[in-house]
Amino acid sequence: MRYQATIGIEVHAQLLTASKMFCACRADYAAAPPNTLVCPVDLGLPGALPVINAQAVEDTVLTGLALGCRIAEVSWFDRKNYAYPDLPKGYQISQYDHPLCAGGSLEVEVQGARRRIRIRRVHLEEDTAKLTHAEGCTLVDFNRAGVPLMEIVSEPDMHTPEEAYAYVTGLRSILRYLGVNSGDMEKGALRLEVNVSVAAEGEQGTKVEIKNLNSFRAVLRSLEYEISRQTRLLQAGQRVAQVTMGWDEVREVTFEQRSKEEAHDYRYFPEPDLPPLMLEPAWVEKVRARLPELPGAKAERYRREYGLSSYDAAVLTAERPVAEYFEAAAALTGDGVDAKMVVNWITSELFRLLRTAERPIEESPVTPAGLVELLRMIATGQLTASSGKQVLAEMFETGRPPAEIAEARGLTQISDRSRLQAVVEQVLDENPQAVADYLAGKEAILRFLIGQVMRATRGRANPAMAQELLLEALAARRAHSS
Ligand SMILES: [Zn+2]
């Protein structure tokens, strides 16, 4: 029997607006002392009236357009009723059957195969207060209550954990490109819930939800775990119960949180304190004009324009500042420096320096122009690649130009024939056994001898010239010995 998994995903993304969804309280609560960003609206005091945040609507419409959704000319806010300490009003203002955006999609690539994942809807709601469970009590912070929250719901179009992973990472990348969400999962600015059912092909399985996934890795691992758990149950002839699961990050297992019998009846009804939200088509078109080039389109263009591999194009376009850095550098290429060389130095050396310094690329002390200047010194033979790495590290530390550093450090490459010839003779004299082996036909030993020349010059010898001079000197010795 062949089984197939069917996966759907709900993403909650806090919008980066200045104020909250329905009041003028500041939305950026991260550094604020608990319960300092509150007012009668988010506390649900009698008589307080909500007002819709226009920026939140615009951010949601922008996201919907980026995902190819239809934007509703008329949408509604509804009350989702439930009683819980994180919800002072006793209901959350959300959107139920008339969401802002519907019917989009996102293309993902898994192992070279591209697939389009449909998106059912994108709607707007308010975040709840934050509960912190301490010993013997629970603390509640209302600063988060009322922060604009966008919910993006996929169709159940994914079938493997890898597809789910590609979908959530792709979505995060788009939200960050649009500047509507920070993508910070540790701080809860982006939250993920998946649902997964396993069934024999062509049959309908039982949907299990997994909540509280705090990282992309958790999405991948929890789905792997849950798919194999459900498959084992079905193979043993048992049935899968419809439950909501949590994910234990440490033990890497799902655990049951509540069963279907305890499911809420939210008694949705239209929010009587808010009018229907009407959007002028001309306004929607104005928002559409703001759409930036998105990561997928950008990667496609990099493949076409710079001849990059799919992998390189994906790495460079995942984050907008990295793409901007690359494009600024790529615009300065020429004279032996090509886009591929720029990519290699950004993704290996520069990324390593940024990681170690824990700095984002937009704060890189090495500018795109500085990087290309360094690469040009390497391309024209003034610096070896290994000296180039040393110079880059110092540029990163001091912000000084590469020529100045190379000069001060005595790192400029030795391309002086007679000077290098002397080093080659010295290396051959110091390694008689290697020379004998080479002359006896073990030509692979040449690499060792080149290495010795590089060592004697502390990496500054022009490698091509070193090889040429070594071959000449060895040929002379062969002629001499025979
Ligand atoms: Zn408020």
Residue corresponding to tokens 């992973």: 165
73-131 pLDDT tens trace:
999 999 999 988 999 999 999 999 999 999 999 999 898 899 999 999 999 999 999 99
Binning pLDDT at 50, 70 and 90, where does residue 428 land? very high
| Token pair listed for 449 | 């001898």
Ligand 1 centre distance from Cα of residue 269 (Å): 23
Ligand 1 centre distance from Cα of residue 145 (Å): 8
Separation CA 197–CA 226 (nearest Å): 9
- Return the percent helix, strand and coil in the chain, to nearest 5: 45, 20, 35
Task: Please report the pLDDT score of residue 410 as a whole number.
Answer: 80
Q: How high does pLDDT run on average in the chain?
A: 93
Ligand 1 centre distance from Cα of residue 215 (Å): 30
Ligand 1 centre distance from Cα of residue 32 (Å): 14
Q: What are phi and psi of 102, to 5 degrees?
A: -150, 155
Binning pLDDT at 50, 70 and 90, where does residue 480 land? confident
Higher pLDDT, 146 or 386: 146
| Per-residue CA distances from 270 to 41, 56, 92, 99, 145 (Å) | 18, 19, 12, 12, 20
Task: Please report the pLDDT score of residue 313 as a whole number.
Answer: 94
Ligand 1 centre distance from Cα of residue 52 (Å): 12
Task: Please report the pLDDT score of residue 263 as a whole number.
Answer: 58
Is the pLDDT score of 259 beyond 80?
no
Task: Please report the pLDDT score of residue 261 as a whole number.
Answer: 57
Binning pLDDT at 50, 70 and 90, where does residue 357 land? very high
77 neighbors 94 (Cβ within 8 angstroms)? yes
Ligand 1 centre distance from Cα of residue 22 (Å): 7
Ligand 1 centre distance from Cα of residue 291 (Å): 30
Ligand 1 centre distance from Cα of residue 277 (Å): 20
Task: Please report the pLDDT score of residue 414 as a whole number.
Answer: 78
244-253 pLDDT tens trace:
999 988 898 9
166-211 pLDDT tens trace:
999 999 999 999 999 999 999 999 999 999 999 998 888 999 999 9
Residue range 235-261: mean pLDDT, rounded: 86
326-349 pLDDT tens trace:
999 999 998 888 999 999 999 999
Q: What are phi and psi of 272, to 5 degrees?
A: -70, -15
Task: Please report the pLDDT score of residue 342 as a whole number.
Answer: 96
Ligand 1 centre distance from Cα of residue 37 (Å): 7
186 neighbors 216 (Cβ within 8 angstroms)? no
262-286 pLDDT tens trace:
557 899 999 999 999 999 999 999 9
* Selection from 45, 44, 46, 53 nearest residue 24 by Cα: 53
Ligand 1 centre distance from Cα of residue 178 (Å): 26
Give the CA angle between residues 277, 279, 283 to the nearest 5°.
Answer: 150
Residue corresponding to tokens 């020429």: 334
Ligand 1 centre distance from Cα of residue 21 (Å): 9
Is the pLDDT score of 62 beyond 80?
yes
Task: Please report the pLDDT score of residue 2 as a whole number.
Answer: 86
Ligand 1 centre distance from Cα of residue 290 (Å): 29
Ligand 1 centre distance from Cα of residue 23 (Å): 5
Ligand 1 centre distance from Cα of residue 53 (Å): 12
Ligand 1 centre distance from Cα of residue 62 (Å): 25
Strand 208-213 with 190-200, pairing:
antiparallel
Ligand 1 centre distance from Cα of residue 192 (Å): 26
Ligand 1 centre distance from Cα of residue 48 (Å): 10
Percentage above 70 pLDDT, the chain? 99
Ligand 1 centre distance from Cα of residue 284 (Å): 27
Task: Please report the pLDDT score of residue 415 as a whole number.
Answer: 75
* Selection from 277, 301, 239 nearest residue 60 by Cα: 277
> To the nearest 10°, the Cα dihedral for 178, 179, 180, 185?
110
Is the pLDDT score of 482 beyond 70?
no
pTM (2 d.p.): 0.83
376-421 pLDDT tens trace:
999 988 888 888 999 999 999 999 999 999 888 887 777 778 889 9
Binning pLDDT at 50, 70 and 90, where does residue 459 land? confident
Is the pLDDT score of 258 beyond 80?
no
276-325 pLDDT tens trace:
999 999 999 999 999 999 999 999 999 999 999 989 999 999 999 999 99
Q: What are phi and psi of 58, to 5 degrees?
A: -65, -45
